[in-house]
């Protein structure tokens, strides 16, 4: 097992990868103490049981340029294979403004091949590669050096077994004709919007049942401040203030340091001068926001009346469809989407793309009374009326 720490060695490996049909890739990173993930290690392997497998160490190789890797990402003759790629891709997008193309995510492929929702790498190694993983290094602090032999072996296993898993899943997709389903999901992963949270939109991530415009205005300004501060200082949002503290402050609306000091949920970090002053300024901005600028809840969504009987029938239909297709139900439609469809909503993911073909068309027929559901033993059948 080689560890690469120079630009020249990285370029040589990436040139070899460009001649291969695919390369498997994984990363190790830390995010507990930062807003942006800190890249600690990259693992890559070429095809074949004895194909070259390497560790790329950006910490030991501090002066190493990642441009050869980014150039490989742009090389469309080689498929870049990851498992559960979202966080890996965010790192490369933030640091290099690049996405690997073409991309293959074995977690997504496994979900449409009957392995359930968000199947773990360890499960696929056991079921497809017929191997067991050594989990003793799972909770390693990957930023510390030197890495032990056990840590390196643990890391490299994340890409060596991935070769067998990729080849098996790619063959299954050819058999079941669902490669297009996977492609639709992958398009979301390589969309910059997936990884971009602008401070103005940060409030949309916060769950609240309150629909008061003034309350939401303060929530919006507090969330804007928190997101901006976290990004600028590269600290986790929760270090600034947690969601429960933010909602408490939106309710109590402190306007002085003394009033802010009475907060029950704001942690010590949030009471430091710079953050405390930012909180008070955000509350003030929310209180002074003009009525026409206040955030609004989706009024159409609020007015929707769910037909509970129809929602139950949609759940039965979803279960029948997911079992016949061998696809996890929640990958096709969430409970909230089923309720929305039962209330007349049509702008949901379950009614678009491959989901429309797999479930949505019959869901709409059920809503229109064009089909019925019949049970025979444990089997649920769709009957056209």
List, for residues 47-95, the tens digit of each pLDDT value. 998 899 999 999 999 999 999 999 999 999 999 999 999 999 999 999 9
Q: Are 106 and 169 in contact (CB under 8 A)?
A: yes
- In three-state secondary structure terms, 51 is coil
Give per-residue pLDDT as tens, 218-275: 999 999 999 999 999 999 999 999 999 999 999 999 999 999 999 999 999 999 999 9
CB neighbour list of residue 212: distance below 8 Å, 6 or more residues apart: none
Radius of gyration for the alpha carbons in the chain, expressed in angstroms and rounded = 25
Average pLDDT over every residue of 127-135: 92
Q: d(Cα 227, Cα 341) in Å, to the nearest integer?
A: 33
- Per-residue pLDDT of 213-230, as tens digits, reads 999 999 999 999 999 999
What average pLDDT score do residues 166-191 get? 96
- Domains present along the chain, CATH in parentheses: 2-195 (3.30.420.10), 199-293 (1.10.150.80), 301-384 (1.10.150)
- Identify the pLDDT of residue 304: 65
**The pLDDT value given to residue 181:** 95
**DSSP state, 358?**
I
Structural contact between residues 164 and 129, judged by C-beta atoms closer than 8 angstroms: yes
Q: Considering only 32-41, 346-355, 369-378, which range has the smallest mean pLDDT? A: 369-378
For residue 213, what pLDDT is reported? 94
The predicted pLDDT at position 210 comes to 87
State the pLDDT at residue 118.
Answer: 83
Q: Is residue 190 pLDDT above 90, yes or no?
A: yes
Predicted pLDDT at 49? 86
Global pTM reads 0.89
H or E element, residue 24: strand 22-30
Structure tokens at 84: 């559960």
Mean pLDDT for the stretch of residues 181-210 = 94
List strands edge to edge, sheet with 79-82.
Answer: 2-4, 53-56, 38-45, 22-30, 79-82, 103-105
Q: What percentage of the chain exceeds 90 in pLDDT?
A: 86
Residue 158 is predicted with a pLDDT of 96
Asked if the model's pLDDT at residue 302 lies above 60, the reply is: no
Mean pLDDT of 151-175: 97
What mean pLDDT value characterizes the chain? 94
Question: To which residue do tokens 């989407």 refer?
Answer: 337
Query: What pLDDT score was predicted for residue 303?
Result: 57
Segment 93-100 shows an average pLDDT of 96
Q: Does residue 167 have a pLDDT over 70?
A: yes
Query: Residues 14-40: what's their mean pLDDT?
Result: 96
Is 300 a residue whose pLDDT tops 60? no
The per-residue pLDDT for range 336-366, each reduced to its tens digit, is 999 999 999 999 999 999 999 999 999 999 9
| DSSP letter (8 states) at residue 58 | T
């Amino acid at each position: 097992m080689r560890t690469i720490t120079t630009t020249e060695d990285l370029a040589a490996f990436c040139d070899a990868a460009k001649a291969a049909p695919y390369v498997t890739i994984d990363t190790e990173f830390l995010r507990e103490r930062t807003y942006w993930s800190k890249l600690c290690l990259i693992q890559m392997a070429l095809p074949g049981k004895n194909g070259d497998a390497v560790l790329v160490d950006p910490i030991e190789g501090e002066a190493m340029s990642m441009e050869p890797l980014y150039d490989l990402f742009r090389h469309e003759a080689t498929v870049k294979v990851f498992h559960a790629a979202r966080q890996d891709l965010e790192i490369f997008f933030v640091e290099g403004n690049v996405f690997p193309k073409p991309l293959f995510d074995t977690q997504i492929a496994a979900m449409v091949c009957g392995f359930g929702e968000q199947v773990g790498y360890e499960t696929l190694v056991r079921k497809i590669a017929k191997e067991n993983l050594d989990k003793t290094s799972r909770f390693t602090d990957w930023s510390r050096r030197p890495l032990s032999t056990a840590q390196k072996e643990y890391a490299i296993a994340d890409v060596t077994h991935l070769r067998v898993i990729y080849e098996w899943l790619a063959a299954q997709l050819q058999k079941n004709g669902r490669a297009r389903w996977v492609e639709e999901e992958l398009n979301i992963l390589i969309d910059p919007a997936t990884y971009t949270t602008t401070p103005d939109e940060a409030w949309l991530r916060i769950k609240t049942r309150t629909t008061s415009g003034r309350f939401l205005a303060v929530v919006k300004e507090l969330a804007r401040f928190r997101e901006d501060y976290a990004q600028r200082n590269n600290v986790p949002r929760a270090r600034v203030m947690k969601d429960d503290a933010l909602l408490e402050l939106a309710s109590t609306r402190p306007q002085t340091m003394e009033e802010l000091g009475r907060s029950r949920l704001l942690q010590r970090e949030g009471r430091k001068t710079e953050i405390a002053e930012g909180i008070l300024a955000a509350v003030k901005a929310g209180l002074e926001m003009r009525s026409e600028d206040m955030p609004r809840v989706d009024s159409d969504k609020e007015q929707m009346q769910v037909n509970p009987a129809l929602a139950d029938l949609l759940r039965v239909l979803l279960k029948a469809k997911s079992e016949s297709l061998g696809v996890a139900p929640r990958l096709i439609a969430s409970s909230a989407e089923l309720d929305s469809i039962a209330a007349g909503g049509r702008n949901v993911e379950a009614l678009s793309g491959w989901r429309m073909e797999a479930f949505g068309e019959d869901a709409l027929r059920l809503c229109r009374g064009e089909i019925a559901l019949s049970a025979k033993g444990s089997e649920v059948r769709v009957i056209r009326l």
